[in-house]
Amino acid sequence: MIDTPSVDWLALSPTVALLCASGVALLATVIVPAWMRRGIAAATALAGFVVAAVLAGIVFDETPTPEILLDGSMVRDQLAAFAQVVLAVTGAVVVLVSWSEDRRDNHGEYYALLAAAGAGMVFFVGAENLMTLFLGLEWFSLCLYILVAIDSERETSLEAGLKYLIVGGFGSAVLLFGAAFVYGATGELSFAEIAVADTTSDAFLLTGLAMILAGLAFKVSAAPFHMWTPDVYQGAPSSVTAFMAAATKTAALVVTLRVLVTAFPDQSEIWTIAVAVLVCASLVWGNLAALAQSDVKRLLAYSSISHAGFMLMAIAANSERGGEALLYYLVPYTAMSVGAFAVVAARERELGRPVTLESLAGLGWERPWHGIAMWTFMLGMAGFPLTGGMFGKLFVFSAAYDSGDWWLVLVGVAATAVSLAYYLNVVRWMYMRTGPELRLVPAGGSPPRDSALSVAIGAGVLVTVGSFFAVQPILDVAADAAASLPF
Amino acid sequence: MLTTALILLPVVGALVVAATPLPRATTAGLAFLVALMEVALWIVAASRFDFDDGGLQLGTSREWAESFGISYSVGFYGFSLWLTGAAVIVSAAAIGYAVWVGRDRPRAYHALMLLLTGAMVATFAAQDLLLFYVSFEAMLIPLYVLVGVWGGARRQVATLTFVVYTMAGSLLMLASVVAFGVTQGTFSLTESGTSDNVWIFLGFAIAFAIKAPLFPFHGWLPLAYREAPVEVAAVLSAVVSKTAIYGFLRIGVPKFPEPADDLSGVILVLAAAGLVYGSLLAFRAPDLRGVVAYSSIAQMGLITLGVFAFDDLGLDGAVLQSVAHGLVSASMFLLVGMVEHRCGTGQLASLGGMARGRPVLATVVLVAGMIALAVPGSATFAGEFLIMAGVYGQGWGYSAVVALGIVLAAMYTLRVISAILHVEPGVAVRDEALDLRTSELALVLPMMLVLLVLSAWPALVSESAFPANNATQAVLEAFR
């Protein structure tokens, strides 16, 4: 008789809900007649994400103190639950974005993979040892590799999928190698045990730490591990890009925070510097490169690199305040990036070709709601008031200043100044140029009504602006979540 | 509640205007009505205000992000109430002017103008550092689009320079806001103490110096004032620039007494240099807007001299001059717009001789000009005199520069008056160009009347800006 560990099903329920949704969506491709597939698969995925969000909310509510599950392989705490809510809501909105996306007959597979990727991320943020960390990472990465390449009739999609596979695979390998070093140095897999273990070799431990950080930085797409980001974001279907920009980054950042704080508290002097270097590199490179972009998806990709820099700044602070700032930042950030990619997707479907800055001309006047929404997202990303983006930056800067990294604040301020140039450029193209002036012709008349997409964009605007006015409730929740880490 | 209503009325008005599909004229009329209601609301606020009491009045405070020490706190002091008064009057006149000109895309245009009004009022009312930052920044969003969409031929360059300059300042200010708030543990202006950190002060000072603008941070100004729609330029020079003065009076000086004192020499010299430099450029400017724009640099230098005189008279004068200059420069810009509308150009070389057969225009331009050049007996003269007397304590040289500034003001103002009204009729002045219409007159006349009242009774503002004859103490101690 083998002893089985007791399983806390409630803690695993968000993952299970998404896996079920994924399975049902996949079954739908086989047993449901073709004309119903899209609707059933999408509805299943949507239901899965919504149920996962609700369950994660219940877990958040019922987990005042962290509990270690499954023989130290998973953790049930408010940090994981917070991230799971963000991830699941993001996933639900992405389902709405992709609802009427045009693709060949592989809707079932698409939604199955989306839900499975969501399940992987939801699992990943609850990882408590190096094995589950790697398992979760590969789980959602594999789904994303296929999702990026799912429009296989488009060459760019395939190319992006291949690039992501190679670079992502390399990143995972680095992480795994790092995990091996850490295990070798400490003889432990669990984060909490690594923190207290007697190390046999500091060199091995530090090498391992560096490699784990690098592997996670690939997923966060922080410079200098960002090379894949622009190409993949540009080539992938817009809804997948939205999912990657928002959800992958959320999951990877939360796990980075958890790993560094729980497993390597004694090395914090070293890793805070390493993270600060990542911050500077991401802010400088992301913002400068974004200036030169004409393709809007590439521009947003570089912008997401710079946002990775801002959020890592909160991790570099290595304080509870920093954790709080990161978690707050994630809320408006995910809303803004999903929303912005949703507007791009809408324009893409209308014009039938990739969206460049030029093809945004006149959008603000022709589609006033999309224009105002995009305006909100751009201002939010630039950290203007009346959007949560401003508070995100404020909290991150406060955390950095509080930890004595005043120079990081100055770097962040300079980066924000540069970023204005390209965010406002988008606004400029939408409002200060007009379509007829540039002879833009929609692919076929006025765009079809797409209420699902409008709901998605509306949700993005609501959260972006709402997180400005309702700061305190979000901050309270973020503070609870951050308190589950041993700062 | 009244203060919140003053902030929210234009904002809600903006949303209604933007969201309701009404005919052009109705939209514009609705916006104008909201702006007039805002003026009425301000009058109610002023009538309930006790000018003898130096404390914060009509205040409201709500929790916002209390774990970071951020709250929604608003309220007025005497001087900020006066600045707000100028703001709402100028906004109403500007919106009225836009109605009269019939700007394109009226829903978007008027919504943005009302939003700008709300942001300006919120800036003057803010009693929380973060709320101040938010409102200060929020002004930029409508301004960016107003200049960029409805501006002149070189509007895109103008907006770019404007935004780059302003945001550079704002972001420095953000860094300072973070540093100040985190060190103090609260962002509330009424609860926080003082700081002696020069760097934090510099972040604020540079942001205000750009917004004002003070020499040598004025690079964005000529282009922005020339390319903006004329009523937006009026708001920029009349009100937006005064938010910087409010910033100095409410944050820069009271929260950083030592750094402000240490650096006051530099600021005074720069302000004096700006006064002379702006006046000279105004004298050399080839076009109407150039004259008004550069004279704004000069006037902002003058007002800053008054603030950093650290003297009762100087501070009273700075507030009086802020209000008076706001009304004068708004009137001047609107008149410039009316002249440009008639002649199709603002180049002084092509203008002239407009007084003949246009008595109303001639009278109004002359009166506005006389007040602008601070003819003795006018409100601006009172303001400039107070500043001159106040700054004497910092060195007689500054007073001499102020006197020189008054002389130069006379020179450039008289030059522009005669270039419009007198000499030979210019090539751009056609006989068909009519005198001012009643509706145009109705836009400028209220501001002129307020100016005349202030000319007769400058003490209305200067004696009630700060608690009785104790401005220095108020700014340095009570605002802490």
- Cβ contacts of A436 within 8 Å, gap of 6 or more: A362
B174 touches A: beta carbon within 8 Å: yes
Chain B contacts of A365, Cβ < 8 Å? 105
CA-based torsion, A464, A468, A474, A478: positive or negative = positive
Q: Tens digit of pLDDT for each residue in B192-203?
A: 888 889 999 999
Main-chain dihedrals φ then ψ at residue B395, nearest 5 degrees: 145, 135
Chain A contacts of B67, Cβ < 8 Å? 472, 475-476, 479
Give the residue on B whose Cα is nearest the Cα of A432. B149
Task: Return the residue in B133, B182, B227 with the most chain A beta carbons within 10 A, the one to mutate for interface testing.
Answer: B182
d(CA B449, nearest CA chain A) in Å: 37
The domain limits of chain B are: 2-478
Which B residues 130-159 touch A at CB under 8 Å? 130, 133-135, 137-138, 140-141, 144-145, 148-149, 155-156, 159
B294 touches A: beta carbon within 8 Å: no
H/E element, B213:
none
Chain A contacts of B137, Cβ < 8 Å? 384-385, 390
Task: Return the residue in A321, A384, A406 with the most chain B beta carbons within 10 A, the one to mutate for interface testing.
Answer: A384
The span from the CA of A5 to the CA of A128, in Å, is 15
d(CA B333, nearest CA chain A) in Å: 24
d(CA A187, nearest CA chain B) in Å: 41
Structure tokens at A357: 């800055």
Main-chain dihedrals φ then ψ at residue B75, nearest 5 degrees: 165, 175
d(CA A484, nearest CA chain B) in Å: 18
Main-chain dihedrals φ then ψ at residue B58, nearest 5 degrees: 50, 35
What string of pLDDT tens digits covers the 487 residues of chain A? 677 777 788 888 999 999 999 999 988 888 888 788 888 889 999 999 999 999 999 999 888 888 888 777 888 889 999 999 999 999 999 999 988 877 767 888 899 999 999 999 999 999 988 999 999 999 999 999 999 988 888 888 889 999 999 999 999 999 999 999 999 888 888 888 888 888 777 888 899 999 999 999 999 999 888 889 999 999 998 999 999 999 999 999 999 999 999 988 888 888 999 999 999 999 999 999 998 988 999 999 999 999 999 999 999 998 888 999 999 999 999 999 999 999 999 888 888 888 888 888 888 888 888 889 999 999 999 988 889 999 999 999 999 988 888 889 889 988 998 898 899 888 888 888 765 655 555 544 556 678 888 899 999 999 999 999 998 999 999 998 898 888 7
Extract the runs of DSSP E, i.e. beta strands, from B26-69.
57-65
Structure tokens at B88: 């709402």
> Which residue reads 């930029």 in tokens?
B140
Chain A contacts of B179, Cβ < 8 Å? 401, 406, 409
B141 vs A406: CB contact, 8 Å cut-off? no
Contact A109, A83 (CB under 8 A): no
Extract the runs of DSSP E, i.e. beta strands, from B39-86.
57-65, 70-76
Residues in chain B: 480
d(CA A210, nearest CA chain B) in Å: 31
The residue among A179, A170, A63 whose CA lies nearest residue A126 is A63
The span from the CA of A23 to the CA of B302, in Å, is 74
The span from the CA of B480 to the CA of B250, in Å, is 9
> What is the residue-averaged pLDDT of chain B?
89
- What pLDDT does A45 receive? 92
The span from the CA of A355 to the CA of A343, in Å, is 10
Give the residue on B whose Cα is nearest the Cα of A376. B141
Q: Which residues pair with B128 in a beta bridge?
A: B188
Neighbours of A448 (CB within 10 A): 10
- What pLDDT does A360 receive? 84
Query: Counting Cβ atoms within 10 Å, is residue B439 exposed (0-12), middle (13-18) or buried (19+)?
Result: exposed
Neighbours of A353 (CB within 10 A): 10
Chain B contacts of A397, Cβ < 8 Å? 174-175, 178
B70, B144, B149 ranked by CB distance to A424: nearest: B144
Q: What is the mean pLDDT of residues B454-464?
A: 86
d(CA B64, nearest CA chain A) in Å: 6
The span from the CA of A45 to the CA of A37, in Å, is 12
Q: Answer whether residue B162 shows pLDDT above 50.
A: yes
The span from the CA of B16 to the CA of B30, in Å, is 9
The span from the CA of A412 to the CA of A431, in Å, is 28
Three-state secondary structure readout of A390-437: HHHHHHHHHHHHHCCCHHHHHHHHHHHHHHHHHHHHHHHHHHHCCHHH
Q: Answer whether residue B2 shows pLDDT above 50.
A: yes
**To 10 degrees, the CA torsion angle through B337, B341, B346, B350?**
-150
The span from the CA of A220 to the CA of A305, in Å, is 8
Neighbours of B1 (CB within 10 A): 8
Residue A337 CA: distances (Å) to CA of A119, A379, A461, B207: 21, 12, 11, 30
Residues in chain A: 487
d(CA A374, nearest CA chain B) in Å: 14
B164 touches A: beta carbon within 8 Å: yes
What DSSP line would sit under A69-105, residue for residue?
A: EGGGTEEE-HHHHHHHHHHHHHHHHHHHHHTT---SS
Give the residue on A whose Cα is nearest the Cα of B200. A406
B66 touches A: beta carbon within 8 Å: yes
B178 vs A397: CB contact, 8 Å cut-off? yes
- Cβ contacts of A207 within 8 Å, gap of 6 or more: A178, A181
The span from the CA of B190 to the CA of B72, in Å, is 12
B175 vs A393: CB contact, 8 Å cut-off? no
Q: What is the mean pLDDT of residues B181-201?
A: 88
B65 touches A: beta carbon within 8 Å: yes
Q: What is the mean pLDDT of residues B382-394?
A: 89
Cβ pairs bridging A and B (under 8 Å): 84
Main-chain dihedrals φ then ψ at residue B353, nearest 5 degrees: 65, 20
The residue among B268, B258, B292 whose CA lies nearest residue B278 is B292
Give the residue on A whose Cα is nearest the Cα of B138. A385
Q: What is the DSSP letter of B478?
A: I
A409 vs B178: CB contact, 8 Å cut-off? yes
Q: Which residues pair with B60 in a beta bridge?
A: B74
- Cβ contacts of A128 within 8 Å, gap of 6 or more: A68, A69, A72, A73, A74, A75, A190, A191, A192
Q: Which residues pair with B65 in a beta bridge?
A: B70
Chain B contacts of A396, Cβ < 8 Å? none
- What pLDDT does A447 receive? 61
Give the residue on B whose Cα is nearest the Cα of A479. B67
* Angle (CA) A356 A361 A367, round 5°: 110
d(CA A208, nearest CA chain B) in Å: 35
Contact A238, A100 (CB under 8 A): no
Chain A contacts of B105, Cβ < 8 Å? 365
Contact A112, A23 (CB under 8 A): yes
The span from the CA of B65 to the CA of B129, in Å, is 13
Q: What is the DSSP letter of B442?
A: H
For residue B377, the number of C-alpha atoms closer than 13 Å in the C-beta half-sphere is 4
The span from the CA of A405 to the CA of A408, in Å, is 5
A12 in helix, strand or coil? helix
* Angle (CA) B39 B43 B45, round 5°: 115
Worst-scoring range by mean pLDDT, A51-55, A162-166, B302-306, B372-376?
B372-376
* ipTM of this complex prediction, to 2 decimal places: 0.86
Give the residue on A whose Cα is nearest the Cα of B139. A385
A476 vs B68: CB contact, 8 Å cut-off? no
d(CA A303, nearest CA chain B) in Å: 18
B379 in helix, strand or coil? helix
Neighbours of A126 (CB within 10 A): 29
> Which residue reads 């993979």 in tokens?
A113
**To 10 degrees, the CA torsion angle through B260, B265, B269, B272?**
70
**What is the maximum span of chain B, computed from C-alpha positions, in angstroms?**
68
> Which residue reads 């008004």 in tokens?
B292
The residue among B37, B3, B86 whose CA lies nearest residue B461 is B86
Q: What is the Cα gyration radius of chain B?
A: 21
A394, A398, A428 ranked by CB distance to B148: nearest: A428
Query: Counting Cβ atoms within 10 Å, is residue A198 exposed (0-12), middle (13-18) or buried (19+)?
Result: exposed
Q: Answer whether residue B140 shows pLDDT above 70.
A: yes
Contact B63, B204 (CB under 8 A): no
The residue among B107, B170, B103, B95 whose CA lies nearest residue B140 is B170
B67 touches A: beta carbon within 8 Å: yes
